[in-house]
Amino acid sequence: MMPLTIRELSLLAGVSTATVSLVLSGKAEGRVGPARRKAILELAEKNGYVSNPAAKGLAEGRAYRIALCVEGRLLQQGIIGNFSLYERMGLAAQQIQAAGYAIEIVQADTKRPPEDVCRQVARHPVDGFVFLAWSPVLMEPVLLSLRDKRRPAVAIGSVLKDDGFTWSDVDRYGAFAEATRQLLGEGRRRVALLDTNEGGIYTDLKRKAFADTIAAELGANTSVPAFAPERFSFSGVVALTERALRQVKRPEGILLTDNFYAEPVLYALHAHGLKPGKDCRLIGFGETDLADKCVPRLSHYSLRIADQVSFCMEALFEQIQSPADYAPRHVLFGPEYVARET
Amino acid sequence: MMPLTIRELSLLAGVSTATVSLVLSGKAEGRVGPARRKAILELAEKNGYVSNPAAKGLAEGRAYRIALCVEGRLLQQGIIGNFSLYERMGLAAQQIQAAGYAIEIVQADTKRPPEDVCRQVARHPVDGFVFLAWSPVLMEPVLLSLRDKRRPAVAIGSVLKDDGFTWSDVDRYGAFAEATRQLLGEGRRRVALLDTNEGGIYTDLKRKAFADTIAAELGANTSVPAFAPERFSFSGVVALTERALRQVKRPEGILLTDNFYAEPVLYALHAHGLKPGKDCRLIGFGETDLADKCVPRLSHYSLRIADQVSFCMEALFEQIQSPADYAPRHVLFGPEYVARET
DNA sequence: TTGTAAGCGTTATCAT
DNA sequence: ATGATAACGCTTACAA
């Protein structure tokens, strides 16, 4: 059984292909009689009509494909720990397909010179580009060259200087400042920040927010205990936590740079008889799914990935549909506290 | 700069579109003079010609899309722990795109009745379907209905009864039998199996291989210590390991059903002064990337995902290109030991 | 309100 | 060896 075409549908309905096309693409508004409209829609439904994306695309000058661009190889960078990349991909994929587009995954070799990367990316016959969590420095030349070619593009999970680009990200500085204020506001003075995020390019930013806030609230000469593990692993973070417990006696509050290694922190606290939440408030950052795997579940500031993705995908489709009157935009989502048992 | 078409290329080269098409699609074999051929290729290269997939697909009656079908929502099932799904997806995506196809991710709601799932899956206007790690029971009706419609499909990471389907998987029974023989062959008698794989639908199979092999080598009345954690988490598996250490005094060998929670096992062994490898040989199963994150790196039996994916993708493309003389095939990849420091 | 017909970029079948 | 030309399925002026 070959897939049905509008031609066949039009023969069945006894109308022309144009009429069928208008009805099926929802442009029949006052151009096709309601009885015919209904008959055609029923016929299409009954026979399981599916429009041919190649034909549709060819006629409209579209590829009906969108590129998801990641830095490096998907497996290398993603396989361990980088859940947020997968969540971004999954959500973006959903929204792309809901709009009738297929996906092309571009694994860009960002070690090569920028112009090579531009060429490699731009070669893809797609209607739009989505950059997932790229480093701004590497992405800028690529975005510039795409803009020159009037090719729609958005960046999810990166902060850019140029107002001519479209991007979305979460305000990490704001989140860590607020988290620190929260601890101090509860009267907790012995606080620490533990780095639990392998290859975290934002670690310095988070530390700075922590330090700035302590300085602002308690005075510039207060000590700011921040710890990084020797090795990012379960046992490495257990050791890290124990080191922190040694240095900060009976800490009343701990901030984690990421939810990923929250479990070993909880494990170490437990081993030392410290009840998280009660004795020591623990606040994480990142994926809610990861936080909810902990026992007790981890309170944290959200990465707001769904918001980031929705914002950019909406902008991208707008850009594709009417490039002429599209205005670039960006957003830095504010801190969102997810209260849990710790 | 609008993308170049073969029409424009043909005008530049002073030849017909047919000639350009033949050259660019590599079908010029003795049909176009070598000088012309070279000139056309250079022109295409210089001007960055990219073929329009919609036009190509329309002319060839192809969608140039392939569906990657997963059970349930990608995020729900994949986000925690299910690395192998992502690795399968990533590898499949690479091979699909290398062949010039785009991807459609189908998140099938397998809780609904089979015929609904069939309809939902079959609706997608794609040239082929790849099923990633589906449960055979749920997949069979879908594969049957696709076969009826002569739609190419393959199943990666599932074992099927019907010889008319194409699938690939790894022989888990074989791997655990061999792993057990390996431990016993080294003279290790106090051995145990720890379940470190959340929602492992193959746990029983692995336990059976373990038990069968012990019975075969040491006699049917030997005890077969197998342990499952109360909760799948780092601390849960630490507790699991400690329970095992209590019950099997100074174990000489431990099998893990999965590499995912190997770290807490190593942590617990270390805490009890047991050197993995020396005192107690530890053998995992699954993702090599996960095994290599451990310290010391974990010896294990491989999931052979790359082999599984290559086998099925090759078959799928063969099926798409010449459906008439395609013969269904399957493979169960044998045990592959990855020797590491433990 | 409906139908006709001209594209869209590529492939493939013919003539030449 | 090369060039016209007719598909492929759909959209969209434009004509009726």
Nucleotides of chain C in contact with protein CB (under 7 A) are 1-5, 7-13
- Among B5, B62, B79, B259, which would you mutate to test the A interface (most chain A Cβ atoms within 10 Å of its Cβ)? B79
CA distances from A289 to A65, A118, B221 (A): 30, 35, 44
Closest nucleotide to B58's CA, by C1' atom?
D8
Query: What pLDDT was estimated at residue B2?
Result: 60
Rounded to 5°, angle at Cα A308 from A307 and A311: 80
Percent of chain B past pLDDT 90, that is, above it, reads 72
Query: What pLDDT was estimated at residue A90?
Result: 86
Closest nucleotide to B31's CA, by C1' atom?
D1
Q: Which tens digits make up the pLDDT trace of A135-147?
A: 999 999 999 999 9
Beta bridge partners of B178: none
pTM summary value? 0.92
CA distances from A142 to A137, A316, B319 (A): 10, 16, 38
Mean pLDDT over residues A284-307, rounded?
Answer: 94
Spatial CA neighbour of B108 closest among B95, B117, B100: B117
Nucleotides of chain D in contact with protein CB (under 7 A) are 1-5, 7-13
Q: Tell me how far apart the alpha carbons of residues B214 and B248 are, in angstroms, rounded to a whole number.
A: 15
A1 or A289: which leads in pLDDT = A289
Query: What pLDDT was estimated at residue B186?
Result: 94
Q: Is the pLDDT of residue A78 over 60?
A: no
A1 exposed, middle or buried (CB, 10 Å; 0-12, 13-18, 19+)? exposed
B219 or A121: which leads in pLDDT = A121
Q: Tell me how far apart the alpha carbons of residues B190 and B246 are, in angstroms, rounded to a whole number.
A: 12
Record: contact B54-A52, CB cut-off 8 A: no
The distance of B173 to chain A (nearest Cα, Å) reads 26
Q: Whole-number mean pLDDT of chain A?
A: 92
Enter the tokens of residue A259: 């939810």
Query: What pLDDT was estimated at residue A221?
Result: 82
Residues of chain A neighbouring B123 (CB-CB closer than 8 A): 48, 50
Query: What pLDDT was estimated at residue B76?
Result: 65
Query: What pLDDT was estimated at residue A80?
Result: 58
Regions of chain B with pLDDT less than 70? 1-2, 75-81
Query: What pLDDT was estimated at residue B80?
Result: 58
For A61, other C-beta atoms within 10 Å of its C-beta total 11
Enter the tokens of residue A258: 């990421």
Enter the tokens of residue A47: 């026979």
Taking the C-alpha atoms of B193, B194, B198 and B201 in order, what is their torsion angle to the nearest 10 degrees? 10
- Among B5, B85, B86, which would you mutate to test the A interface (most chain A Cβ atoms within 10 Å of its Cβ)? B86
A197 exposed, middle or buried (CB, 10 Å; 0-12, 13-18, 19+)? buried
A64 phi and psi, to 5 degrees? 50, 40
* Closest Cβ–Cβ partner in A86, A234, A295 for B264: A234
Q: Is the pLDDT of residue A129 over 60?
A: yes
Query: What pLDDT was estimated at residue A76?
Result: 64
Residue holding tokens 């929204």?
Answer: A95
Query: What pLDDT was estimated at residue B73?
Result: 78
Q: Which tens digits make up the pLDDT trace of A187-211?
A: 999 999 999 988 778 999 999 999 9
3-state SS of A110-144 is: CCCCHHHHHHHHHCCCCCEEEEECCCHHHHHHHHH
Query: Chains A and B: how many Cβ contacts under 8 Å?
Result: 142
| pLDDT confidence band for A315 (50 / 70 / 90) | very high
Spatial CA neighbour of B238 closest among A277, A268, A231: A268
* Closest Cβ–Cβ partner in B1, B51, B87 for A75: B87
Query: What pLDDT was estimated at residue A126?
Result: 96
| pLDDT confidence band for A77 (50 / 70 / 90) | low
A295 phi and psi, to 5 degrees? -125, 115
Strand B153-156 vs strand B128-132: parallel, antiparallel, or unpaired?
parallel
A110, amino acid identity: T
Q: Which tens digits make up the pLDDT trace of A158-188?
A: 999 999 999 999 999 999 999 999 999 999 9
The distance of A250 to chain B (nearest Cα, Å) reads 22
SS3 B22: helix
